[in-house]
């Protein structure tokens, strides 16, 4: 389904920046310290100017992303909560020329609210949304040249305290994010042919623009395929499976495969790349917190023909469900696939605490 699935929310096009023992250029997103020239230091942030107004119209920053990192520093204020909304801050930035980018929100004190989202909008609406986990929210997408709004939205059912945050837009390296590996640990999908390839469906996904709607399947006979693996920061892991030519049961997909895995003690980001061979197909990969089938944490982005990528912030020492779906638009199933999973530890950016 690829880009058609991304009309509105969640992750779009090319991603980047290595994982663990990946070779290639050093990643720009998640750098543990500012560059020698001061890139990424708090002084480089556009400071929030007027919290009382930038929830209604985007605050101009004058910042243009042309390859060098740009940043915005602001604060979640709690002086105007309404209906659970604690604060909404909007900032206008320019992308020139068209570029694959990583947009990251860092807020180490973000746990003061129930929900903190990073939102990227263009003139037609929401392009991407990412939720804060372990102090970070991240999205990676291909942005055509033009004007964009970066938003930070805080919601909480109880009174929260104010806290600072930082948004960064940095260059992406699509080929370098969790590239296919050879060897290493591989979990092979449990044979589900006896269940007509429905044994590990677990979640159905529908396109309901401008959002992606997901929910548990109506049957209780399916369950995630347990990998038993913990993805630690700097480690790699692979899952091999088969997307079968079954008839869609009403959503956007034919075969759906769900796998459970865990994050390590310091892992706060997962980079995933699914690669398939053997036919003309379009596979998508999603990530869910275990037991939360209605809340996808990342949506596929097209990287290369025959591949999809997802990047998402995660909580350490937590169970997640990795979901692979064969789009109903696929013209040649079955196809074999491998999902490459890379765990990362992302340090807080300067100026976010």
Q: Where are the domains of the chain?
A: 28-172, 186-344
The answer to whether 323 and 285 are in contact (CB under 8 A) is yes
User: Which whole-number Å values give the CA distances from 20 to 231, 233, 235, 342, in the listed order?
Assistant: 11, 7, 6, 7
**Residue 31 — pLDDT band, cuts 50, 70, 90?**
very low
* CB neighbours of residue 75 within 10 Å: 16
How far is it, in rounded angstroms, from Cα 352 to Cα 317?
A: 24
User: Does CATH number 2.60.120.380 belong to domain 186-344?
Assistant: yes
Strand pairing category for 319-327 and 301-302:
unpaired
pLDDT digits (tens, 9 = 90+) for 37-74: 333 444 589 999 988 888 889 999 999 999 999 999 99
User: Burial letters for 120-132: b for 16+ Cβ neighbours within 10 Å, e otherwise?
Assistant: bbeeeebbbbbbb
Provide the sign of the torsion angle of the four alpha carbons 237, 131, 77, 41, taken in this order: positive
pLDDT of residue 56: 87
Return the CATH fold of 28-172: Jelly Rolls (2.60.120)
Statement: residue 5 has pLDDT above 80: no
% the chain with pLDDT above 90: 54
Task: Taking residues 194-221, report their average pLDDT.
Answer: 82
How far is it, in rounded angstroms, from Cα 54 to Cα 49?
A: 8
**Residue 167 — pLDDT band, cuts 50, 70, 90?**
very high
pLDDT of residue 9: 31
Statement: residue 254 has pLDDT above 50: yes
Task: Taking residues 205-232, report their average pLDDT.
Answer: 83
Lowest mean pLDDT among 140-144, 148-152, 168-172, 227-231: 140-144
pLDDT of residue 37: 33
What's the token pair of residue 337?
A: 């696939």
Statement: residue 178 has pLDDT above 60: yes
Task: Taking residues 221-230, report their average pLDDT.
Answer: 94
Q: What angle do CA 197, 194, 329 make, to 5 degrees?
A: 20
Q: What angle do CA 320, 324, 325 make, to 5 degrees?
A: 140
What's the token pair of residue 93?
A: 């930035």
Statement: residue 257 has pLDDT above 80: yes
Statement: residue 25 has pLDDT above 70: no
In SS3 terms, the chain reads as CHHHHHCCCCCCCCCCCCCCCCCCCCCCCCCCCCCCCCCCCHHHEEECCCCCCCCCCCEEEEEEECCCCEEEEEEECCCCCECCEEEEEEEEEEECCCEEEEEEEECCCHHHCCEEEEEEEECCEEEEEEECECCEEEEEEEECCEEEEEEEEEECCCCCCCEEEEEEEEECCHHHCCCCCCCCCEEECCCCHHHCCCCCCCEEEEEECCEEEEEECCCCCCCCEEEEEEECCCCEEEEEEEECCCCCCCCCEEEEEEEEEEECCCCCEEEEEEEEECCCCCEEEEEEECCCCCCCCECCEECCCCEEEEEEECCCCCEEEEEEEEECCCCCCCEEEEEEEEEECCCCCCCCC
Strand-pair partners of 332? none
pLDDT of residue 264: 96
User: Which whole-number Å values give the CA distances from 326 to 74, 75, 89, 197, in the listed order?
Assistant: 41, 41, 37, 12
- In the chain, the largest separation of any two C-alpha atoms, in whole Å, equals 61
pLDDT of residue 302: 53
User: Which residues have C-beta within 8 Å of that of residue 194, sequence separation ≥ 6?
Assistant: none
Residue of 301 and 125 predicted with greater confidence: 125
Mean pLDDT of the chain: 82
How far is it, in rounded angstroms, from Cα 232 to Cα 229?
A: 9
pLDDT of residue 2: 37
Statement: residue 82 has pLDDT above 90: no
* CB neighbours of residue 208 within 10 Å: 11
**Residue 23 — pLDDT band, cuts 50, 70, 90?**
very low
pLDDT of residue 51: 81
**Residue 219 — pLDDT band, cuts 50, 70, 90?**
confident
User: Which residues have C-beta within 8 Å of that of residue 349, sequence separation ≥ 6?
Assistant: 31, 40, 71, 104, 106, 166, 168
């Amino acid at each position: 389904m690829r880009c058609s699935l991304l009309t509105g929310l969640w992750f779009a096009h090319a991603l980047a920046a290595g994982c663990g023992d990946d070779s290639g250029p050093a990643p720009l997103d998640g750098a543990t310290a500012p560059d020698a020239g001061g890139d990424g230091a708090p002084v480089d942030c556009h400071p929030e100017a007027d919290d009382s107004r930038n929830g209604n119209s985007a605050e101009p920053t004058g910042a243009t992303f042309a390859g060098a990192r740009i940043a915005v520093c602001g604060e979640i204020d709690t002086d105007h909560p309404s209906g659970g909304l604690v604060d909404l801050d909007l900032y206008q930035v320019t992308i020139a020329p068209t570029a694959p980018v990583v947009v990251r929100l860092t807020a180490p004190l973000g746990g003061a609210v129930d929900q903190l989202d990073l939102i990227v909008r263009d003139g037609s609406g929401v392009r991407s949304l990412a939720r804060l986990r372990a102090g970070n929210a991240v999205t990676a997408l291909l942005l055509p040249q033009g004007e964009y709004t970066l938003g930070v939205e805080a919601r909480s059912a109880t009174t929260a305290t104010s806290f600072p945050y930082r948004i960064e837009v940095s260059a992406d390296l699509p080929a370098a994010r969790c590239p296919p590996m050879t060897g290493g640990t591989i979990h092979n999908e449990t044979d589900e042919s006896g269940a007509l390839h429905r044994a590990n469906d677990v979640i159905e996904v529908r396109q309901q623009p401008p959002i992606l709607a997901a929910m548990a399947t109506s049957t209780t006979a399916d369950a995630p395929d347990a990998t038993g693996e913990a993805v630690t920061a700097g480690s790699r892991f692979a899952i091999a499976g088969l997307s079968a030519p079954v008839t869609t049961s009403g959503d956007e997909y034919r075969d759906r495969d769900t796998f459970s895995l865990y994050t390590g003690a310091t892992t706060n980001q997962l980079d995933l790349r699914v690669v398939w061979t053997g036919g003309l197909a379009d596979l998508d990969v999603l990530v869910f917190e275990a037991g939360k089938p209605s809340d996808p944490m990342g949506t596929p982005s097209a990287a290369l023909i025959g591949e999809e990528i997802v990047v998402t912030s995660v909580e350490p020492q937590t169970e997640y469900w990795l979901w692979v779906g064969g789009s109903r638009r696929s013209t040649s199933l079955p196809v074999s696939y491998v999902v490459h999973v890379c765990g990362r530890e992302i340090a807080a950016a300067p100026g976010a605490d």
